Every structure is written in C-alpha cells, then in structure tokens.
Amino acid sequence: MAKRKAASSKGKSTSPDPMIISKARTKAAVQQCNVGSEFYGALEGAVRELIARAEVRALGNKRKTLRAADV
C-alpha cells in the first residue's frame, strides 16, 4: 500500500490565537510614519477588545450578528 501524505497545515497556525490584524496591511495603511514592532500587539489588543464589546452589545440586544452599530 502507498503511504498517505500527512495532512497539510497550510493556512493553519499552531498558536491558539492567531493575529486578527495583518502586519503588512497595517504597515501599508500608515502614510507618513514608521511602525514599531510593539504597535502591532497594541493594535491587536485594541481590535480584540472592540470585537468583545461589540459581541456583548449584540448579545444584550438578543442578536447573534454583529452590526456596525455595535462598534
């Protein structure tokens, strides 16, 4: 019998919480400044907090869909 190939992990991160933001897109969005390495972590934290607050608001309004108004 031929051996099976191992399942590809392409696109899957081994870390439990992959980053939501894209470093490349963040850097491209900045026009006149450089981006420090600590900025990405701070931005990631701010985005996760924003999503968490929006989720709480949506659930409080008995919805399971996040809307722009939740931000």
**Cα–Cα distance for residue pair 71/46, rounded to 1 Å:** 12
Q: Which pLDDT band, with edges at 50, 70 and 90, does 11 fall under?
A: low
**54 touches 63 (CB < 8 A):** no
Query: What pLDDT does 40 receive?
Result: 97
Is the pTM value of this prediction over 0.85? Answer: no
* 20 falls within a domain: no
User: Which tokens hold the place of 19?
Assistant: 């980053």
What are the φ and ψ backbone dihedral angles of 8, each rounded to 5 degrees? -75, 135
* 46 falls within a domain: yes
* 1 falls within a domain: no
> Could you read off the pLDDT of 36-62 as tens digits, one per residue?
999 999 999 999 999 999 999 999 999
Note down the domain range covering 41. Answer: 36-70
Q: Which pLDDT band, with edges at 50, 70 and 90, does 6 fall under?
A: low
**Cα–Cα distance for residue pair 57/53, rounded to 1 Å:** 6
